Amino acid sequence: MKKIVIFASGSGSNAEKIIAHFKHSDQAKVVKVFSNNPKAKVLERAANHELPAEVFTREDLNNGTVLQKINTIQPDLIVLAGFLLKFPEDIIAMYPQKIINIHPALLPKYGGKGMYGENVHKAVLENKERETGITIHYVNEQYDEGGIIFQKAVSVEECTTPEEIAEKVHQLEHEHFPKVIEQLISKS
């Protein structure tokens, strides 16, 4: 059985879709959720699925504590699902091509530091983009610059608020992220 761990900082709607998708799989399972935010709703969602969850600090992330915790699990895939801190180089070096992130836009557009969640959707609206979408990519040392695994576009021509765009993007994420993970896992 392949092991997936999830890192999330907020609501965790993607995390929950992934947990549910693999709940009855004989190929892979989500074994743990990590969060840097003690108030994140993702912790509640993990508990509802009787899944272990652990909160860590930014210091833990950057001083090797989180790496040690990951090493005790030996995951086959590390999934960043709405994780908002920069992922440290020691973990990236130890798990090459085994860490993936979802970004709520069509990278390389609307990527980089500060471009997360609502900020992305506001920028898309301000620039009067006709479409946006999702990007699933490997994580490397630069924000949002690792190799692209999957992209899907959606029209936002009729959206008038960032919330409307967010809803469309979330729908795409929920539909595709678990499937893309399943494909990656089956090849690993």
Active site residues: 103
Give the Cα separation of 188 and 173 in Å (integer): 22
Angle at 186 between CA 181 and CA 188, to 5 degrees: 95
Shortest distance, CB of residue 158 to ligand GAR, whole angstroms? 20
Q: Which stretch binds ligand GAR (CB under 6 A): 4-12, 22-30, 49-57, 60-68?
A: 4-12
Q: Is 58 annotated as a binding residue?
A: yes
Q: Is 106 in the site for ligand GAR (CB under 6 A)?
A: no
Give the Cα separation of 97 and 160 in Å (integer): 38
Shortest distance, CB of residue 72 to ligand GAR, whole angstroms? 25
Nearer to ligand GAR, 68 or 163 (CB): 163
Binders of ligand GAR in range 9-48 (CB under 6 A): 10-15
Nearer to ligand GAR, 103 or 176 (CB): 103
Q: Give the distance from CA 70 to its chain's centroid.
A: 16
Task: Please tell me the count of residues contacting ligand GAR according to CB under 6 A.
Answer: 18
- List the structure tokens of 179: 């499937």
Q: Is 129 in the site for ligand GAR (CB under 6 A)?
A: no
Q: Which of 36, 27, 4, 35 is nearest to 17 (CA)?
A: 4
Q: Is 178 in the site for ligand GAR (CB under 6 A)?
A: no
Q: Is 14 annotated as a binding residue?
A: yes
Start-to-end C-alpha separation, the chain? 12
Nearer to ligand GAR, 70 or 79 (CB): 79
- Report DSSP state, residue 123: H
Q: Is 146 in the site for ligand GAR (CB under 6 A)?
A: no
Whether omega before 178 lies within 30 degrees of 0, making that bond cis, reads no
Give the Cα separation of 131 and 124 in Å (integer): 8
Q: Is 88 in the site for ligand GAR (CB under 6 A)?
A: no
Residues in the chain: 188
Under the rule (CB under 6 A), what is the footprint of ligand GAR? 8, 10-15, 81-82, 102-104, 116-117, 120, 169-170, 173
